[in-house]
């Protein structure tokens, strides 16, 4: 089994960051749990290095995290229709919880939590509330599908999964995006052995659209792991002094980043990965349709057919570049989506990529991708 590979990559653009930039963020809250530090919005920052703790209401069987995309956070009716936003949200195809203790969180009967689901609240007619939900989830890592629309983590650490589709009674105007965590049979969460409210730990929630180029990376590529928090200086006497400001990637709570707690009671920080990872890779001979938006599209994410009045989502790499602002805002990167042991990192693209035409309608580019924290 290969330990580290560069193959067919997967770029996972977190749509929440894009919505914030575009002005479609109208607050966040948590239902069924409370934060002692009132940091309800922190889980939507794609920053799992800052762990957030929430006290769960002992009398509830679920708690959920809400991201509002409509200013009417009071409920329904929703009067402002935004069909393009609803179309974009209908195409999310991955979700994840980065940094969590959900696998060891128990209900009042000491059973493991039941499920994690992603759903949407909104209105299809301006008066009646409706909900759309993820369908056919597929495990990327640590998310065991339990039915047609939800699954559960096996270990503490992090979970990522693909979403087959979003069910909805279209046209629907989404008002909020919601991650819901609940017990399997309606049992309340209750309290711990000492009579205290149970604590859920969440680093970050991520939801967005993943993209895979039509080809793998070029065979020649480079991988670097650097400890840029360590500086060395040579003294006049010839000695070398090391000044350590930081060791690299911060922990996600009690675990190193991108670690699954497969054994309880172990200090995983001893051997956890620390260095900053980076990749320099090329993509060659990519069809222009798979690299660029169509110039005439009024909405660059979609092609509109006037005859059928239908939108077709542009799944090319151009949509990833638009959602990530050419890689300037963080995204999740997998250097080889076909590997047996998947590797992930939160990254940016170091320099703005340029695209070179190498044959008729065929383009190549090189990418310098660096882990951020």
How many Å apart are CA 151 and CA 143, to the nearest integer? 6
Q: Distance (Å, rounded) from C-alpha 282 to C-alpha 202?
A: 35
Where does CATH 2.60.120.260 sit in the chain? Answer: 11-210
3-state secondary structure of 99: strand
Say what the pLDDT of residue 116 is: 95
Q: How confident is the model at residue 200 (pLDDT cuts 50, 70, 90)?
A: very high
The alpha carbon of residue 353 and the mean position of all alpha carbons in its chain are separated, in whole angstroms, by: 23
Name the more confident of 333 and 114. 333
Q: What is the pLDDT of residues 70-106, one digit of tens each?
A: 876 555 555 555 677 888 898 999 999 999 999 999 9
Residues near 271 by beta carbon (within 8 Å), at least 6 away in sequence: none
Q: At residue 1, does pLDDT exceed 60? A: no
Least confident window among 54-58, 85-89, 138-142: 85-89
Question: Cα 142 to chain center, whole Å?
Answer: 14
Per the CB < 8 A criterion, the answer to whether 168 and 132 are in contact is yes
Distance (Å, whole) CA 164 – CA 141: 16
Greater confidence (292 vs 39) lies with 292
Q: Which of 32-46, 138-152, 341-355 has the lowest mean pLDDT?
A: 32-46
SS3 state at 296 = coil
In this predicted model, which residue has the larger pLDDT, 372 or 220? 372
According to the model, what pLDDT value does residue 231 have?
76
Q: Average pLDDT, stretch 210-225?
A: 89
Here the tokens at position 306 are 């006037």
Q: What percent of the chain has pLDDT over 90?
A: 56
Mean pLDDT of 104-120: 91
* Distance in angstroms (rounded) separating the CA atoms of residues 345 and 249: 10
Residues 6+ apart with CB under 8 A from 79: 72, 126
CATH topology of domain 11-210: Jelly Rolls (2.60.120)
Q: Tally the residues of the chain.
A: 373
Whole-angstrom distance, CA of residue 323 vs CA of residue 327? 8
Tokens of 72: 């009417």
Mean per-residue pLDDT of the chain? 88
Q: How confident is the model at residue 290 (pLDDT cuts 50, 70, 90)?
A: confident
Determine the pLDDT at residue 126: 61
Residue written as tokens 């109208």? 26
Query: Is the pLDDT assigned to residue 171 strictly greater than 90?
Result: no
Integer-rounded Cα Rg, in Å, for the chain is 22
Kindly tell me if the per-residue pLDDT of 44 is higher than 90: yes
CB atoms within 10 A of CB 216: 19
What average pLDDT score do residues 123-148 get? Answer: 84
Question: Quick one: pLDDT band at residue 324, thresholds 50, 70, 90?
Answer: very high
Which residue matches tokens 């919880």?
97
* Predicted pLDDT of residue 304: 80
340-352 burial, b for 16+ CB within 10 Å, e for fewer?
eeebbbbbbbeee
3-class state of residue 318 by DSSP: helix
Provide the greatest CA pair distance for the chain: 80
User: Residue 320 has which token pair?
Assistant: 């990833």
Whole-number pLDDT of residue 307: 85
Lowest-confidence pick of 40-44, 97-101, 190-194, 218-222: 218-222
Rounded mean pLDDT of 44-68? 94
175 exposure class (CB count in 10 Å sphere: 0-12, 13-18, 19+): buried
The pTM score is 0.92
> Residue 75 has what pLDDT?
58
- What are the tokens at 321? 């570049």
Rounded Cα–Cα distance for residues 99 and 114 (Å): 18
Mean pLDDT of 217-234: 82
pLDDT at 246 over 70: no
- Checking if the pLDDT of 138 tops 90, the result is yes
The residue-averaged pLDDT of 326-348 equals: 95
Banded pLDDT at 40 (limits 50, 70, 90): confident
Query: Is the distance from CB of 46 to CB of 158 less than 8 angstroms?
Result: no
Quickly count: other Cβ atoms within 10 Å of residue 221's Cβ. 17
CA nearest to 83, candidates 173, 181, 21 = 173
Q: What is the pLDDT of residue 123?
A: 75
């Amino acid at each position: 089994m290969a330990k580290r590979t560069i193959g067919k990559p997967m770029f996972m653009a977190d749509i929440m960051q894009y919505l914030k930039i575009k002005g479609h963020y109208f607050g966040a809250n948590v239902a069924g749990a409370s934060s002692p530090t009132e940091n309800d919005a922190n889980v939507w920052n794609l920053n799992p290095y800052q762990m957030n703790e929430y006290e769960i209401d002992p009398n509830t069987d679920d708690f959920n995290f809400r991201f509002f995309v409509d200013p009417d956070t009071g409920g329904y009716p929703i009067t402002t229709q935004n069909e393009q936003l609803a179309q974009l949200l209908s195409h999310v195809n991955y979700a994840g919880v980065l940094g969590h203790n959900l696998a060891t969180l128990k209900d009042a009967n000491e059973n493991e939590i039941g499920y994690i689901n992603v759903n949407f609240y909104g209105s299809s007619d301006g008066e009646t509330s409706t909900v759309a939900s993820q369908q056919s989830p597929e495990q990327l890592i640590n998310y065991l599908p339990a039915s047609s629309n939800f699954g559960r983590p096996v270990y503490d650490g992090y979970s990522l999964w693909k979403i087959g589709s979003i069910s909805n009674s279209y046209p629907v105007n989404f008002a909020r995006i919601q991650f819901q965590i609940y017990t399997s049979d309606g049992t309340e969460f209750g309290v711990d052995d000492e009579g205290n409210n149970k604590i859920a730990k969440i680093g970050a929630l991520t939801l967005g659209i993943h993209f895979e180029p039509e080809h793998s990376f070029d065979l020649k590529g480079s991988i670097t792991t650097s400890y840029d928090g360590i500086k060395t200086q040579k003294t006049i006497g010839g000695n070398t002094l090391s000044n350590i400001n930081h060791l690299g990637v911060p922990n996600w709570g009690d675990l190193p980043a991108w670690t699954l707690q497969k054994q309880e009671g172990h200090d995983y920080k001893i051997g956890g990965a620390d260095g900053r990872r980076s990749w320099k890779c090329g993509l060659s001979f990519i069809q222009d349709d798979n690299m660029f938006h169509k110039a005439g599209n009024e909405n660059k994410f979609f092609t509109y057919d006037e005859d059928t009045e239908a939108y077709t989502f542009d799944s090319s790499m151009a949509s990833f570049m638009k959602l990530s602002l050419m890689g300037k805002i963080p995204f999740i990167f997998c250097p080889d989506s076909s590997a047996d042991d998947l590797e992930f990192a939160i990254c940016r693209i170091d320099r703005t990529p340029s695209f070179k035409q190498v044959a008729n309608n065929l383009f190549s580019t090189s990418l310098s991708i660096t882990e951020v924290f």
